[in-house]
Structures are given as C-alpha cells and as structure tokens.
Amino acid sequence: MFPGVGTDNLLIIPTCQHASIDLVNVGDTVEAEKDALLERFFVFARHATDALIAGGHWADYVDPCSGLPMVHKESCGVYGEVDALVSLLGYATSNAGCCKVVLHPRWGSAVYPASIVTKAPLEATLRALESAAAALDAGK
C-alpha cells in the first residue's frame, strides 16, 4: 500500500471509537455521528503522526471513508478497516446490504474504526499516542 515502505517493523494501530448510535442504520443522525467521529479521529491521528514524523519516523494514517493514506498520498492500494480488524484482532462481521460491517466485541456495530501506521519504535509510538490523546482531551 505504501510504495517504498517495507513491512519490516511496520506497526498497524487500529483504533475504535464507540459510537453513540448503531452506525449500520441510515439517516441524518447516523451521518452526523460518523462525521463527528471522523473529525475526532483526524485530530487524534494528525497529532500522533506529526509527532512521529517530527521524531524522524515514518508514519501515516488512513482516511476510513476512502481507505487512502492522508500523509503519503502516493499510495498504490486501498486499506480496508473492516478487513484489518478481522485479520489483526479477530473481530466478527455482519452483512448490511452490500457492505460488510465490523462487530466490536462489546459495542457491536456502534463502532467507528480507523488506523494509524508507523515504522517508529513502540516506545516512541506510545508517547505519540498518549500525547495525541491528551491533546484531544484538552480540545486542541
């Protein structure tokens, strides 16, 4: 998916936000919830990847709507959040019309998945994620 970036030491960080409503439903309320969760993820992911990149590490995050990377735009593929959670964490899925929906073990389909990818060491990654969470909580 990322040309020139090998898979050695590649760390995929799946995130799951608990939605206030079941996201399989349709309508303005569901779309507003999805938009809010997307923006929240973008703030978190931008902060984390900016910190990792500033530290000299390769990092990116995926737009869960398109499956495309947000930092390194020269992608050669689409990242599937549902497939990632099934493969990486063993989550179950359900069919909703023509779409496959991931089922969180506690929240069911009231979940909004999105991923960050990096080649940074685990310690640096954890620091960046903690900083991003603190900034998100502080409203930055």
For the segment 47-95, what is each residue's pLDDT rounded down to a tens digit?
999 999 999 999 999 999 999 999 998 877 899 999 999 999 999 999 8
140: number of Cβ within 10 Å:
9
For the chain, give the mean pLDDT: 93
Taking the C-alpha atoms of residue 79 and residue 114, their distance in angstroms, rounded to an integer, is: 10
Stretch (H or E) spanning 95: strand 92-96
Largest CA distance in the chain: 44
Residue in the block written with tokens 């990792």 = 52
**Residues 60/70, Cβ–Cβ less than 8 Å:** yes
- Which residues, at least 6 apart from 122, have a Cβ–Cβ distance to it below 8 Å? 11
